[in-house]
Structure 1
Amino acid sequence: MQKEFVALGLMSGTSLDGVDLALCHFSLIDDQWNYSIEKAETFPYSTAWEKKLREANQLPSIELLQLHSEYGQYLGTLCDNFLSQNNHRPTLIASHGHTIFHQPHNGFTFQLGHGSAIANATGIDTVWDFRSGDVLLGGQGAPLVPIGDRLLFPAYDICLNLGGFGNISFQSGENRIAFDTTVVNMALNDLAGEVGQCYDKNGELGRNGSLIPNLLQDLNELDYYSTTGPKSLGREWYLSSFKPIINKYLNYSTEDRIHTIYDHIADQTVNAFKTTGAHNALITGGGAKNGYLISLLKSKSSIPLTLPDESTIDFKEALIFAFLGILFFEGIEGSLASVTGASSNSIAGVVSKGCKLNRS
């Protein structure tokens, strides 16, 4: 039996680099999933959009709902233009949106960007709001990538993504296990901004700094690292728990603080590896292109670390959200209770039917 699917996946990460769009082809042949990324592009945020998204958690409720629609329309226009330029019409669009609130302990998570606006702009069925259903089943609503790791990358014991936060997934018996490891690009970008840079290109700031032992100890002693999963991180945790520790060391240079954060990232990532019994790992996400971070991870890790092709490094999350959209339409559970801690597996997402509006 063989099935073929084409889907457009959208991902906006917590590091606020921009929106990733990935047009993906999937095939299911004798119970084995295969993928190819046909066309992909990152659309960087304008200064205005970056400011809106960064400050959205402070908006009054009415203004937040307005932004929810506005951002959905922005995503819809991006999708419509991207598909028109590439002369493709996929079966569906799958949009992660941009996370504004992630508080599963309080029973909610919120990803900005109304899916109906995307469906209206493109005329294509759009799957969105992938996390809320799991949270309402008592889960973390995250991570959702592990089902894609299991089905699309079965050759690797561990899949590690280095984005705004780091997260890993791995197989443990019959169950897929996954959790966020620590903050990555959210912290690195934040400190790079102190010296007028958007990010620490190739880790040069960190490479030129020196270790602050007390800062490293304080970060490694954060309560999150001693808790067992399921567990996940959000911007709230970074602002309330991580950043205040960094701010206690403002008398040290930016280079020294960012150098120490690199060591912290590597320590917590390798500590997570040790809990899995794994023999190899695949690394993707923006951090996979940071030469200093990768060299540090390789020096501390006892298992081989593999970097895939550049397209997969850059667009794996958009790829997997496209895949989650396919699973939704196939009626296959994409949110795993073994990962999120929910009371049961569930089909992730809701759908808005495509009905392109004529604005002429």
Structure 2
Amino acid sequence: MGSIIDADPVLDFVVLGLSSGISMESIDFALCRFRQQNPAQPVRLELLKYGETLLDPEMQKRLMDMVLDEFNSSEQVAHLNDILGEAFAEAALEFIAANGIDKSTIDIISSHAQATWRIPYPAAHQTRTSFRINEGAVIATRTGITTVTDFRVGEVAVGQQGVPLADFDALLLHHPTKLRACQNISDIGSVCFIPPDMDGGLNDNFFYSDTGPGNIYIDAAIRHYTNGAQRYDVDGEIGKRGEVDEEIVDDFISSHPYFHQSIPKSAGRDDFRASLAYELISKAEDKGLSPEDVIATITRITAQSIVDHYKCFAPSQNIDELFLCGGSAYNPNIVNFIQKNYSSTQIFTLDAAGIPAVAREAITLALQGMNAVVGRTVRTSHGAETRQELIVGKISPGDNYGQVMQKVMQFGKGEKLEPIRALVNVVNGEVIHNKW
């Protein structure tokens, strides 16, 4: 670590990232400050505040019912698009007030849009699509803050599957000599493999893919057995007391079509719907498994799918370091199984790199929102159907739109900007280099 000396940066943006998983259970917040001397210089990131709030259960139920009904009513979709925007706007304002933040200091809100329908592998009569709701204009109107939403539709427009861009993981963790991986274990599992640097800087051959279910089934089973009193398996304690039924694990992974697809591939609720958790519970209970055994078995499905993905698709089995993030990054039943299969790999949570493991998705959204507003392209993952660099995100002007655009014009002169080449993570005024 080293001290940071700031000249007056040309770009100085404060962005509030709002993230929510496909379970639609909660909203994560990350208030970030981005500073950059000019478009060719490193971007300095400082996480100012982060937190979480639960989404209203009635809202969650209505969203899940809509998905299960497969959009029988256009009126229902349009209505939920607006009221979800209202819910995110209210949550943002509550976060701002609770943390004593001066709202006028926030330049942008960058918000998750909820996936409601996606076709990543279109048939001959279909079009690849990713349809999402969470009206950015409502968020901007209610908060007065310029808002960016719906990033993935831009990726689909250039022929990709609408998966999160992996820029942040690669920029944060790339290393001169080590193959690193960043594994997210939230509702859906995903990994970014980051090869050693090339020509003294970031190697553009990093690549990203979804690994399968993350904690979506584990959390559903926990809610089932605790009648909703517990949201997740805290420290893996329930699963730790159970025995894994290997036959159920093997049957699930061998029979599910997602695990037989090659990369690039992306997963969503259409692949791993929550109702599958209850089918697994029923099958396990028919075999006489206890609740602890069921949790252990479902947890192993997540862990096994991660390990299998690495064995099939990692650029080398000599993975030097693995960084875990997301809600199940701290579940020892998953971590220990990965470690057993990759005994020479050092495993950390993303906290070791100066980023709270639970805040990574909201920070990524904040970075994407900043890129969209300043007109900066982002890299696509190696192995994607197309590597066209693109600007993603839909901008909804807020009351501060004029001030935001003035900052943008001073920085980029109205030109399309190249992707970020280097990211500097600043924690408590110190630079975290992550190059040990």
User: Could you say whether these structures have the same fold, taking a TM-score greater than 0.5 normalized by the shorter chain as the test?
Assistant: yes
Q: Alpha-carbon deviations, 1:33-90, whole Å to 9, x = none?
A: 3322101110112321221232231252211111101110121122233334422422
Quick one: distance in 1 between partners of 2:275 and 2:387?
A: 28
Q: Alpha-carbon deviations, 1:138-193, whole Å to 9, x = none?
A: 2111032x111122333472111110011001235532211111102111011112
2:331 maps to a residue whose letter is: N
Structure 1 residues 34, 301: closer, same or farther in 2, change over 3 A? farther
Q: How does 1:1-360 map to 2 (within 5 A)?
A: 2=9, 3-28=11-36, 31-57=41-67, 58=69, 59=71, 60-84=73-97, 85-88=100-103, 89-106=105-122, 107-144=128-165, 146-155=166-175, 157-171=180-194, 174-196=204-226, 197-221=230-254, 222-239=256-273, 243=277, 244=279, 247-251=282-286, 252-274=289-311, 275-277=314-316, 278-302=319-343, 303-309=345-351, 312-334=356-378, 336=380, 338=382, 340-342=384-386, 344-355=388-399
2:174 maps to a residue whose letter is: P
How far off is 1:355 after superposition? 3.4
Quick one: distance in 2 between partners of 1:226 and 1:32?
A: 40
How far off is 1:195 after superposition? 0.8
1:263 maps to a residue whose letter is: R
RMSD: 2.5
Quick one: distance in 2 between partners of 1:137 and 1:350?
A: 15
Larger helix share, 1 or 2: 1
1:140 maps to a residue whose letter is: Q
Q: Could you tell which deviates more after superposition, 71-80 or 52-61?
A: 52-61
State TM-score, norm by structure 2.
0.75
Q: Is the 8 A contact 1:141 1:340 kept in 2?
A: no
Q: Gaps (5+ residues) in structure 2? A: 1-6, 123-127, 196-202, 401-436
Q: Is the 8 A contact 2:380 2:387 kept in 1?
A: no
How far off is 1:311 after superposition? 5.9
1:248 maps to a residue whose letter is: K
Quick one: distance in 2 between partners of 1:108 and 1:325?
A: 21
Q: Alpha-carbon deviations, 1:232-268, whole Å to 9, x = none?
A: 1111111399545664334133322321222222222
Quick one: distance in 1 between partners of 2:298 and 2:369?
A: 35
How far off is 1:337 after superposition? 5.5
Number of corresponding residues: 355
Q: Could you tell which deviates more after superposition, 319-328 or 165-174?
A: 165-174
2:304 maps to a residue whose letter is: D
Structure 1 residues 227, 6: closer, same or farther in 2, change over 3 A? same
User: Between the two proteins, what is the percent identity of the paired residues?
Assistant: 27
How far off is 1:327 after superposition? 1.2
**Structure whose CA Rg is larger:** 2
SS of the counterpart of 1:323?
Answer: helix
Quick one: distance in 1 between partners of 2:399 and 2:133?
A: 21
Quick one: distance in 1 between partners of 2:53 and 2:321?
A: 32
Q: Is the 8 A contact 1:140 1:342 kept in 2?
A: no
Quick one: distance in 2 between partners of 1:37 and 1:328?
A: 19
Q: Is the 8 A contact 2:205 2:381 kept in 1?
A: no
Quick one: distance in 2 between partners of 1:61 and 1:217?
A: 40
Q: Is the 8 A contact 1:10 1:96 kept in 2?
A: yes
How far off is 1:216 after superposition? 1.4
How far off is 1:350 after superposition? 1.1
Q: Is the 8 A contact 1:194 1:254 kept in 2?
A: no
State TM-score, norm by structure 1.
0.90
Quick one: distance in 2 between partners of 1:245 and 1:260?
A: 9
Quick one: distance in 2 between partners of 1:246 and 1:168?
A: 27
Q: Gaps (5+ residues) in structure 1? A: none
Quick one: distance in 2 between partners of 1:239 and 1:329?
A: 34
